[in-house]
């Protein structure tokens, strides 16, 4: 078959070849259009998916969880400065005046040198009255005058000794109950050696009779710890031993016993020694430390999990800072198992 010539005198494809070329070009054009359509479809899908995901995220919850970022970044501070009332004070409670007491003020007498005071010298008992208002000691001295309109409860100490209340920094009262009936102890959670997620306050029995016995000995405040059967036993709570109507309290609950209702600081019990090794070795379990080597690994593993949570939360908060909480596609990472240990790494929990 002869080849045709175009207008410029150049040879043309044969009709068969031209048919093949045209078909090839059509295929290429169709392929290009298909690729373009696929790309547009993919972009549309991504945009729809992002919009649909964003639509499924609660804006109210995002705002609430973003507000938690400031709490995660903060370190508690000890309350300082004058207060006008105790955090545990209940409206309607009467002021109390204790007369004729021999008071241990905890301060050296006037004229005692700093060196002697440092050595414990110069401290003495003084005869004085003590006035308590709104749950605070407001006056210590002789002959405290009161107006006739004051609604006040007066106690005559008749020369008895009066001191500040004793604070017990290591107690299991209310969790490890007395009398020690079978199964009455809730001191240790032995389902695992690492239990930072449990709280001593959840096992407190305000009706435990030893609480009143302890208070009668002058101990007004105790730090109630989980036991030392675990390397990380859980959170501890500072409680007052005044609970119930007999003690002028309107409630009979563990929450009403909190010495610091605002919960400025958190506390956690850790035991780095023989107890956990002995407990788990004696129980013959197939988990838990049998040696100090094992204890060290359990600690490392636990803090590694907590540090991962802390980093994930910090990354989320930083992204929310930069892009806006309302634009986040997921919620703040949370993990109840490692939350309290993460707070330890943030400096919000004191180890005891």
Residue 10 has a pLDDT of 57
Residue 137 lies in a domain: yes
Q: What is the pLDDT of residue 245?
A: 85
- Using CA atoms, how far apart are residues 7 and 25, in angstroms rounded to an integer? 22
Contacts of 66 (CB under 8 A, 6+ apart): 317, 320, 325, 328, 332
Q: Which position has the token pair 């008749």?
A: 158
pLDDT in tens, the chain (352 residues): 444 455 555 565 566 555 555 667 777 777 778 888 888 777 777 666 555 545 578 899 999 999 999 999 999 887 767 788 888 888 888 899 999 999 988 888 888 999 998 888 888 888 999 999 999 998 998 888 776 556 889 999 999 999 989 999 999 999 988 777 656 688 999 999 999 999 999 999 998 989 999 999 999 999 999 999 999 999 999 999 988 888 878 778 899 899 988 888 999 999 987 889 888 887 666 778 888 899 999 999 999 999 999 999 999 999 999 999 999 999 999 999 999 999 999 999 999 9
Is the residue at 259 inside a domain? no
Which SS3 state, helix, strand or coil, does residue 290 take?
coil
Sign of CA dihedral 299, 301, 302, 308: positive
Task: Please tell me the distance from the alpha carbon of residue 185 to that of residue 174, in angstroms, as a whole number.
Answer: 9
Q: How many CB atoms lie within 10 A of CB 270?
A: 19
CATH number for the domain including 143? Answer: 2.30.40.10
Pairing relation of β-strands 349-351 and 266-270? parallel
| Distance between CA atoms of residues 175 and 224, nearest Å | 8
Residue 159 lies in a domain: yes
Instruction: Note whether residue 300 is domain-resident.
Output: no
Q: Is 225 part of any domain?
A: no
Residue 20 confidence (pLDDT) = 57
Q: Which two tokens stand for residue 89?
A: 């004070």
In this structure, the strands spanning 95-108 and 152-156 are parallel
Domain residues for the domain of 122 are: 90-164
pLDDT confidence of residue 8:
57
Any idea what DSSP says for residue 231? S
Q: Which of 130, 84, 87 is nearest to 106 (CA)?
A: 130
150 vs 95, 147, 153, CA distance in Å?
Answer: 8, 6, 9
Residue 54 lies in a domain: no
What stretch of H or E contains 238?
A: strand 232-240
Distances from the Cα of 297 to the Cα of 191, 272, 293, 335, angstroms: 18, 12, 7, 21
Give phi and psi for 45, each to the nearest 5.
-65, -45
State the Rg of the chain over Cα. Answer: 36
User: What is the DSSP annotation of 49-71?
Assistant: HHHHHHHHS-HHHHHHHHHHHHH
CA pair distance 3, 8, nearest whole angstrom: 14
The predicted pLDDT at position 193 comes to 93
Question: What total number of domains does the chain contain?
Answer: 1
Q: What pLDDT does 1 receive?
A: 45
**346, 36, 343, 86: which is closest to 221 by C-alpha?**
86
C-alpha span between 323 and 220 (Å, rounded): 50
Among all chains, which residue has been given the structure tokens 């209702």? 261
Q: Which residues contact 251 (CB under 8 A, 6 or more apart)?
A: 243, 244
Q: Is residue 310 part of a domain?
A: no
Report how far residue 266's alpha carbon sits from residue 75's, in angstroms, rounded to the nearest whole number.
11
Q: Is residue 251 part of a domain?
A: no
Our CA angle for 220, 226, 230, nearest 5°, is: 155
Among all chains, which residue has been given the structure tokens 């506390």?
267
Query: Cα angle vertex 207, ends 204, 212, to 5°?
Result: 105
Could you check whether the bond before residue 280 is cis, i.e. omega within 30 degrees of 0? Answer: no
């Amino acid at each position: 078959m002869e080849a045709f010539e175009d207008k410029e005198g150049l040879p043309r494809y044969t009709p068969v070849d031209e048919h093949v070329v045209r078909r090839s070009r059509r295929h290429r054009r169709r392929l290009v259009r298909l690729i373009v359509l696929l790309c547009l479809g993919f972009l549309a899908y991504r945009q729809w998916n992002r919009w649909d995901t964003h639509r499924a995220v609660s804006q109210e919850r995002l705002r609430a969880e973003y507000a938690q970022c400031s709490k995660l970044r903060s370190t508690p501070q000890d309350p300082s400065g004058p207060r006008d009332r105790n955090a545990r004070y209940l409206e309607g409670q009467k002021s109390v005046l204790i007369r004729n007491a021999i008071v241990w003020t905890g301060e050296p007498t006037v004229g005692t040198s700093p060196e002697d005071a440092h050595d414990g010298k110069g401290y003495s008992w003084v005869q004085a009255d003590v006035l308590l208002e709104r749950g605070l000691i407001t006056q210590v001295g002789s002959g405290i005058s009161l107006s006739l309109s004051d609604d006040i409860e007066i106690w005559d100490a008749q020369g008895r000794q009066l001191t500040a209340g004793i604070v017990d920094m290591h107690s299991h009262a209310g969790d490890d109950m007395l009398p020690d009936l079978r199964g009455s102890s809730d001191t240790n959670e032995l389902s695992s050696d690492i239990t930072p997620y449990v709280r001593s306050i959840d096992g407190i029995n305000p009706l435990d009779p030893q609480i009143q016995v302890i208070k009668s000995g002058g101990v007004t405040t105790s730090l109630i710890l989980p036991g030392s059967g675990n390397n990380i036993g859980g959170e501890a709570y500072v409680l007052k031993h005044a609970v119930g109507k007999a003690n002028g309290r309107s409630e009979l609950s563990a929450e009403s016993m909190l010495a610091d209702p605002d919960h400025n600081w958190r506390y956690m019990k850790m035991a780095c020694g023989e107890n956990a090794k002995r407990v788990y070795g004696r129980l013959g379990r197939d988990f838990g430390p049998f040696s100090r080597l094992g204890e060290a690994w359990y600690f490392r593993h636990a803090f590694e999990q907590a540090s991962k949570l802390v980093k994930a939360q910090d990354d989320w908060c930083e992204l929310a800072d930069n892009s806006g909480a309302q634009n986040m596609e997921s919620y703040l990472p949370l993990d109840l198992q490692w939350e309290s240990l993460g707070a330890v790494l943030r400096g919000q929990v004191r180890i005891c």
